[in-house]
Structure 1
């Protein structure tokens, strides 16, 4: 079973709806899609939610989660093998993407487990709570995607142009570093963002490709707005994503946060490998936790 899920589609759900803006038939279609995706969170206070902050044009932090389930039947249980934080700041007109390491050790009910297990032990709320402890910031929203979402969304917009940052072969599909692959989609796109075994940087290298593909999809959406008006794209979003952000949240993003998506900066929380209790973990030093916290705090100012 394909276990590596691409969190990037979660931000696409947030960002692309902001890109298309508000108007006519698209409003009605998008409103229905958002209603289908909506699943409230109890871990975020009402005063801290995107609904509230977007009214006042304030920066927001969203936790992006990708589960390792393969079905498209709304069964979202599993581990979140991909995790990112997106800070969207309309005042600075900047967006920061911070990738998290799934093998970071945490404690659940007194037991040490990996960060990606927080969702399996509870819900999106438990993931929010654990990541808040890790990076010491408060979230304003979350978005969760199941397996298949990236492929469906990329296919619905005709694929994206990607210049490979690595030479490798995955499941008989090959890529060459520096070569550009136009309209990359489907299985080839999944292979590109899933690869980590032949990457000298392992999961960290895969995170960089995830962020690369996310930015490519957002760039295409900005250049070709018509590509995201199609029903296939809307269906791909609503069939693969759950989020606590409501129609009011997205309409606020559309009117006030669009410019922040033109300037996306990327970062990663990096640890040191260690075997603990027979499990491969990534230990985060206090200095790295402090660095990541400061980066996120600065992005939120």
Structure 2
């Protein structure tokens, strides 16, 4: 995925996922993570449970519950080289920060902060969703936000020609395709 985006942007990333999972992707949201830094600060920071201690760029993140401002949340979510899970661990931290951010936005009375948050979203996110599409998504799925399930494409790292690849078996690809197809069919897709 990283290579697809680096060499072909959003379009190649979409085509790569569509081919790999054999499911259509109609919409995308591309997010500049620095925008999350500013949104986190607007909301007063986030709390995360750090599974192990590490230091990155001179900042130490001890194991346990952490209160992070935007800059530290972004740095926390980007570390991967000292993580035993590598890139998968980084993705888990990013999901944790994003989940906490969404939870905090739901808990706080954010009406007064909404203009600042929307300014950051406009400046740091690109999408092919129309405003009507966004409203429909919000109305159709707002009750589901707390029931989001996660899964992971299982595989293993392999170096080929000096480049690291995450290799996935055909059985695993089929498992993920079937799961996605079933979810999409339930919601009126595929």
TM-score above 0.5, yes or no: yes
Match of 1:170 in 2: 56
| Preserved contact between residue 168 and residue 174 of structure 1 (Cα < 8 Å) | yes
RMSD: 1.7
Structure 1 residue 249 displacement after superposition: 0.7
1:98-147 CA-to-partner distances (Å, cap 9, x unmatched) read: xxxxxxxxxxxxxxxxx322233334222111110011111131011235
1:62-121 CA-to-partner distances (Å, cap 9, x unmatched) read: xxxxxxxxxxxxxxxxxxxxxxxxxxxxxxxxxxxxxxxxxxxxxxxxxxxxx3222333
CA distance in 1, matches of 2:97, 2:115: 22
CA distance in 2, matches of 1:223, 1:298: 32
What TM-score does the superposition give when structure 1 sets the normalisation length?
A: 0.58
Q: Which runs of 4 or more aligned residues in structure 1 lie more than 4 Å from their structure 2 counterparts after TM superposition?
A: none
For 1:204-215, list aligned pairs within 5 A.
204-215=88-99
| Preserved contact between residue 221 and residue 228 of structure 1 (Cα < 8 Å) | no
Check if 1:296 corresponds to 2:180: yes
Bigger fraction of residues in strand: 1
For 1:196-207, list aligned pairs within 5 A.
196-207=80-91
Bigger fraction of residues in helix: 2
Segments of structure 1 that go 5 or more residues without pairing to the other structure are 1-114
Segments of structure 2 that go 5 or more residues without pairing to the other structure are none
Distance 1:194-1:262 versus aligned 2 partners, 3 A rule:
same
What TM-score does the superposition give when structure 2 sets the normalisation length?
A: 0.89
CA distance in 2, matches of 1:225, 1:252: 23
Match of 1:284 in 2: 168
Number of aligned positions between the proteins:
185
1:36-59 CA-to-partner distances (Å, cap 9, x unmatched) read: xxxxxxxxxxxxxxxxxxxxxxxx
Match of 2:24 in 1: 138
